[in-house]
Each structure stands twice: as structure tokens, then as C-alpha cells.
Amino acid sequence: MPDSDMNWTKIQDEIKRCEKCKEEGFYEVKCPDDRIPTSGPQNVKLLFVSEAPPLNTRYYFYNENSNDRLRNSLFDLLRSDLGYEISIINDFIAAGFYLLPTVKCPSARTGRNAAPPGKVIKLCAEQHLKREIEYINPEGVCLLGRTALQGFLILRNLWGMQMKDSGEVGRTLSGAAGKVLEVKILDKNTKFMISYWPTKRHRKFHEISEHIRMLMEIIGF
């Protein structure tokens, strides 16, 4: 069951102050990090779940003063491949979209940006992402990349989803991409699409658009 007093501002304030990784001794995580969304969710149909904010910058996705690569790539896909007129965050939210990172703080290895370790993904997904998804209550969720997939595989157990066998998802991201799984979250069946991290250097960059289109058709968006 969701927290009886679940409130978006409260959830985000807790994320902004969170030092649980430091308390657990996960010193590769640079926390706390205050890069929470600058705009709240509004009637979200499709939620994108990304990886983690990057190291060595004060900005991420929602801050339009920055030249954010994730925002640029995702908006490009929505415009060029799916026909949406999206150029700013307000357009993105008004169209029924929203985005959250799986892990809320950046990780470093030898002083450089690094993918978050599994123990960090587990802690952050259970502590924060689960509550955010339950609050937003989207029709569908598009998982962008390996970290987002790992976070989902952790949360699906908390939501009581039983997999018939591990091959239902796939052993690799490339083997899992394009698959749709249904999870009952609270009292609602939510569809999850597995896809790639949207970097234009990825040879399957435009396959992400097909995954988004497929998910939109399934949820009637």
C-alpha cells in the first residue's frame, strides 16, 4: 500500500536530502544531490525511467539552462520519429510524458563518471523510485538502458510480479529490448517497455522510437 500521506513535494525533499548511500558506506556515490525535477508530474501517461544524473555538472534534464544530452536526444526522438512538437520541458509534460532517474545521485570511479553499482541501484530504487512510480501512477513506463532495467527487476519483486523464467526478460539488454511486461502496481496494471539508453551514437538509436510507439499503442496513448 502507498504511504497514506504520500506527497510529491515531500518525496522530492527527502530525495534532495538523502544520504543513505553515505550511511551504508557506498562512497562512490556523490550524495546528497539536489537535482530533482523542477516541474511536478501532471496526468502522466508515459513515464521514462533513465539511469542517473552525471558527475561534474549541476544540471540534469529538467534544467533548461543546460545543454542536457539526454533531454536533447529524447526530444529529438519524440519530434523527428513520433511527430510531437516538443522543444521545452512544459511541452514534454503537457504531452503526457515525464522522466525520472533510477538512481538520484551520480557515481564516480577514479574520479570519473561511472554507472551506479547494483547495490546502489537496489537501495535507491527501493527507497525512492518505487514511491515516485506509485505516486505518478502512469499507464506505461519506458525503461531507458541497463540501469533502468536493473531497477525494474528489483522493484518487480516488491510489487509481487512472479517471472515464469529468467528468459522472459532476457540475459542481456539487447535480448530484452522491445519486450513489454505487465506489473500490477497498487490496484493498476502498468505496462513496462524495455529499451536502450538514448545516445545518438547508439546504432539502434531509432529503435527506441519504435519501442515508444509500440508502448503508446498498447496503452492507448
Q: Show me where the domains of the chain are located.
A: 8-219
pLDDT tens for each residue of the chain, 221 residues long: 455 457 999 999 999 999 999 999 998 898 888 889 999 999 999 999 999 998 888 889 999 888 899 999 999 999 999 999 999 999 999 999 999 999 999 998 887 888 899 999 999 999 999 999 999 999 999 999 999 999 999 999 999 876 554 456 666 888 899 999 999 999 999 999 999 999 888 788 899 999 999 999 999 99
For 8-219, the fitting CATH number among 1.10.8.60, 3.30.1330.40, 3.40.470.10, 3.40.50.1980 is 3.40.470.10
Please, what is the Cα angle at 55 between 71 and 176, to 5 degrees? 60
**Torsion (CA) 121, 127, 128, 132 in degrees, nearest 10:** 120
Q: What is the pLDDT of residue 1?
A: 42
φ/ψ bin of 170: left (φ > 0), alpha (ψ from -120 to 50), beta (otherwise): left
Q: How far apart are the first and last CA of the chain?
A: 27
Spatial neighbors of 97 by CB under 8 A, at least 6 apart, are: 44, 45, 46, 47, 48, 78
Q: Which pLDDT score, from 0 to 100, does residue 3 have?
A: 54
Which pLDDT score is estimated for 162? 62
- Characterize the bridge pairing of strands 188-195 and 140-144: parallel
Give the C-alpha separation, 205 to 182, whole Å. Answer: 24
Are 166 and 117 in contact by the 8 Å Cβ rule? The answer is no
The pTM (predicted TM-score) of the whole model is: 0.93
Gap between the Cα atoms of 18 and 69, Å rounded? 25
C-alpha span between 12 and 132 (Å, rounded): 9
